[in-house]
Structure 1
């Protein structure tokens, strides 16, 4: 076992009963450190994140299996969160349509305080345990859907309340938190706990905790889209051709798949509007 992995596992055991996201940094006198030491310290802490995520893979797998099964029946995936956690959910949801060519209503990110809070924090928005469920009602969430609550602390009332009520209403619920044995994990059917240890700056969960949440969200949305058939081989064949870079990528994908020249690929892409359709129609000839 890698030494960093061993240290992190030991850390989990030692701090199981306390909030690691609020525990004191392993570094002190940051303002006195040379810049090189600051950067090295941040980087050393970041190295621990992937090992913490690795320990959560079985729970991530269980949750994705449930998501895919429901989405194949017409269900949707919802994220709820506040602050950094909420923003990460919104980002992940917003990237699914251009990356995989899916409708925006397939994956929906909801943030405490509404869309305005994405850029500017809204005071006390995360403290209402009823508001998330009210926000979800605008989308007519039901038992075909999945709700994932994201909160580094695992104690955010907005997220806990939304997950708890959703589960009571027969909706598959998961969560992503960076502490063990939290109220949020207790509320969720499939909790994902990624304990990365103290932050470099004490309590600054936009750092390691935020990185861990982003990695887990990447895994969830990517594996879900693959499970729904939105990737062929290793390529985003349904991506939206929304800029010149992506058009160029699409042309190259068609050239490689069909072994044709650039001009033919360009014509096919212009005619059919997506890599998948271009390849399928060409092969019908």
Structure 2
């Protein structure tokens, strides 16, 4: 029996949406969106398992690789691309692969998700290994491209995570770690860029942010590994050095330059009164955790 994924069901709450006044139409959409965060909350144990696996993989020299098709693929690429400026990781450490290649980021290539062999080949092309964590994302939980990628990644020894927003979700059965945020029928039947997309974005936020926090990329909720790549981020890095380094903005600007643009190094220089090279040595000895350098013997 061929059972449709729940994302293909008709939503009775939004039936007749085309005949509603604009404000009521939007309230109905918002009603549906409001459900998503609670559904994702119910997946936190599985998400936590994945976060720990990602942190361990990255700590061991592995990579976080998102793979998806359509909206799911774009969300994975989006999350990965934000990790460089936010956490200072390289594009080789965290990246996304989308069915259909880069062209699919801006143009829908719907048939690309049906090619399971292409998904497997994508894993071979990036030489997936046992230290990597591959996160397969498919709203319906059945995209052949993603399933093919996850199957090959497992063969190559990687830890695999399946993220789906429907039931049944074969992808989640394929993966080592299953994150199944069942959001129910979409506002528009089958339009998984809506609630499913929102759920996947929330999950990606947790996966990458959680792993980076566990790797010492923050001090509390401060992005101390932020990359000062534009005027806004330069100003943010200077404020971080001034605040956490307990100095003034003029000195912070000087330290940011001397540190080669690293707020984290600049903070250590300010607090410890050391050179940039010594600051880097202290951070390396602390595994990159600024909190350990600043307070090596917490109560």
User: TM-score of the superposition, structure 1-length normalised?
Assistant: 0.91
Give yes or no for the alignment of 1:75 onto 2:62: yes
Structure 1 match to 2:147: 160
1:264 is aligned, of 227, 230, 251, to 251
2:16 and 2:127 map into 1 onto residues whose CA distance is: 51
* Structure 1 residue 71 displacement after superposition: 1.4
2:83 is aligned, of 78, 88, 96, to 96
Give yes or no for the alignment of 1:25 onto 2:30: no
Structure 2 match to 1:281: 269
* Structure 1 residue 190 displacement after superposition: 0.4
Structure 2 match to 1:179: 166
Q: Which runs of 5+ in 1 are unaligned?
A: 1-16
What secondary structure does 1:124 align onto? helix
1:213-224 equivalences under 5 Å are 213-224=200-211
1:95-244 equivalences under 5 Å are 95-244=82-231
Q: Deviations over 1:111-166 (max 9, x none)?
A: 00000110012241111111112112222111111111000000100001111122
User: TM-score of the superposition, structure 2-length normalised?
Assistant: 0.87
1:170 and 1:251 map into 2 onto residues whose CA distance is: 42
* Structure 1 residue 25 displacement after superposition: 1.6
1:234 and 1:143 map into 2 onto residues whose CA distance is: 31
2:42 is aligned, of 51, 55, 78, to 55
- Cα RMSD, aligned residues only: 1.2
Structure 2 match to 1:13: none
Number of equivalences: 269
2:155 and 2:241 map into 1 onto residues whose CA distance is: 47
Q: Which runs of 5+ in 2 are unaligned?
A: 274-299
Structure 2 match to 1:14: none
Q: Deviations over 1:63-89 (max 9, x none)?
A: 111111121110101111000000000
* Structure 1 residue 259 displacement after superposition: 2.4
Q: Deviations over 1:213-269 (max 9, x none)?
A: 000000000000111111112111111111111111111111111222211111111
Contact 2:241 2:270 in 1 (8 A): no
1:182 and 1:93 map into 2 onto residues whose CA distance is: 24
Report the more deviating stretch, 161-170 or 148-157.
Answer: 161-170
2:234 and 2:157 map into 1 onto residues whose CA distance is: 42
Q: Deviations over 1:171-212 (max 9, x none)?
A: 110011011342111101101000111111111110000000
* Structure 1 residue 284 displacement after superposition: 3.3
2:171 and 2:40 map into 1 onto residues whose CA distance is: 18
Contact 2:123 2:152 in 1 (8 A): no
